[in-house]
Amino acid sequence: MTLYRLPPLPTIREIIKLYNLRAEKQLSQNFLLDLKLTDKIVRKAGNLKNAYVCEVGPGPGGITRAILNTGVEELLVVEKDTRFIPGLKMLNEASLGKVRIVHGDILTYRMDRAFPNHLKKAWEDDPPNVHIIGNLPFNVSTPLIIKWLEEMANRTGPFTYGRTPMTLTFQCEVAQRMTAPTGGKQRSRLSIMTQYLCQVKHCFSIPGRAFVPKPEVDVGVVHFTPLIKPKIDQPFKLIEKVVQSVFQLRRKYCYRGVSLLFPEEQRTQLTEQILTLANVEPTLRPSELSMKHFQGLCNAYRELCDRDPSLFSYNFREELRQKKKMKGQDIQINEESETL
């Protein structure tokens, strides 16, 4: 039973009409009007009673209403498009001042200052009483999660408050990549970068037809809880570099991608060394490598970089770019360069 009902309000469809909120293709706006679905997304965030929640991209406010109905203490909404502000102000009045409206861009908004300091918890503690929820456009949600994963690793941004959980939507394929197991078809760079830092769950999928206007693809709702102890104990940038190299040649044996970490003149020797140190079979495919394998590769790469610090600045893509430039060719890194 929900105890905290908002007073009767115009429906989201009426709000859209009232404020003439045509979805902007340019901002990839797709609205959720089905209250059963907005409630279902919000339930996946867990118990929000008395919680401090940040909703990213509230738009006409479907998910916003579902969040307010859970009895939150405060709801911070960050919305880029001015047209939605009057509708959000109306929700603020209806909820007796629980909504704090920020008209801004979530990619630049200072999440480390978003909530009161007393909510901060130690990393090893239970997650703080802070949650992030959002149905963002796909062209924003992917760069945003990459930024937030790095901030999670560094305990900055929204993770200044501790292990802040997040419930976000993605294009289904991206949700599948984030959650793909070892050997899975969708196993990719994003699977490793997400899973080394978080417990991640693809909660459910929403068919494109549930949105207005209908997007080309289905949508996955993903829940993230940062792990107390990341599965790889190395700096984010180092892990990112190793993972990117390995998946650079995703259909080849993994030693091929691993070898791209090293300058040509030392490539054969150092590739052999790293694989031996990491105990990784060179003929496994990138998708067959487990988190333990990546942990071994990152630790071994770190060891090699500690021995020769110039190694870390070597960048295969940069070298290729330079070579192509010198030959006056178009840049085409390779035909099977991986998708994130």
Q: Give contact residues for ligand SAM (rule: CB under 6 A).
A: 27, 29-32, 56-60, 62-63, 78-81, 84, 105-107, 135-137, 140
HSE-CB for 9 with a 13 A CA cutoff: 26
Least Cβ distance, residue 339 to ligand SAM (angstroms): 21
Q: Please, are residues 218 and 207 in contact by the beta-carbon 8 Å criterion? A: yes
HSE-CB for 304 with a 13 A CA cutoff: 27
Least Cβ distance, residue 30 to ligand SAM (angstroms): 5
Least Cβ distance, residue 67 to ligand SAM (angstroms): 10
Least Cβ distance, residue 104 to ligand SAM (angstroms): 7
Least Cβ distance, residue 65 to ligand SAM (angstroms): 10
Beta carbon nearer to ligand SAM, 21 or 270: 21
Q: Please, are residues 169 and 134 in contact by the beta-carbon 8 Å criterion? A: yes
Alpha helices in 206-253 (DSSP H): 236-248
Least Cβ distance, residue 105 to ligand SAM (angstroms): 4
DSSP string across 186-206: T--HHHHHHHTTEEEEEEEEE
The angle formed by the CA atoms of residues 134, 91 and 111, to the nearest 5 degrees, is 40
Encode 178-198: b = buried (16+ Cβ within 10 Å), e = exposed. bbbebeeebbbbbbbbbbbbb
Beta carbon nearer to ligand SAM, 92 or 287: 92
Beta carbon nearer to ligand SAM, 108 or 117: 108
- Counted residue by residue, the chain has a size of 340
Beta carbon nearer to ligand SAM, 58 or 226: 58
How many other C-beta atoms can be found within 10 angstroms of the C-beta atom of residue 98? 19
Beta carbon nearer to ligand SAM, 184 or 208: 208
End-to-end CA distance of the chain: 41
d(CA 332, CA 320): 9
Beta carbon nearer to ligand SAM, 85 or 311: 85
Least Cβ distance, residue 52 to ligand SAM (angstroms): 18
d(CA 282, CA 292): 15
d(CA 164, CA 149): 12
Phi, psi of 324 (to 5 degrees): -65, -40
Least Cβ distance, residue 139 to ligand SAM (angstroms): 8
d(CA 281, CA 303): 19
